Copies of this chain bind each other. A is one copy, B any other.
Amino acid sequence: MQYGVLGTGVVGLTLGGRLIELGHEVRLGSRSADNEKASAWSAANGDRASHGTFSEAAEFGERVVNATSGAASIEALRLAGAEALRGKVLIDLANALDFSQGFPPVAGIALDDSLGERIQREFPEARVVKTLNTINVAVTVDPGSLPAEHAMFLCGDDATAKEEVRSLLLELGFAPGGIVDLGGIAQARGTELYVALWVRLMGLFGDARFNISIVRA
A residues touching B (Cβ–Cβ < 8 Å)? 101, 104, 106-108, 110-112, 139, 145-151, 153, 180, 182-183, 187, 189-191, 193-194, 196-197, 199-201, 204-205, 207, 209-217
Contact = CB atoms under 8 A, between A and B. Distances in A.
Given A110-B111, A111-B108, A216-B209, A190 B182 contact: no
Contact of A112 (B106, B149, B180, B213): B106
Given A210-B216, A216-B210, A217-B209, A196 B201 contact: no
**Majority SS at the chain A contact face:** mixed
A148 B212 CA distance: 13
A141 B151 CA distance: 25
Contacts of A108: 111, 193
Contacts of A191: 197
A150 to B, nearest CB: 5
B207 A187 contact: no
Complex A-B, nearest 3 residue pairs according to Cβ-Cβ distance, in ascending order: A209-B217, A190-B197, A193-B196
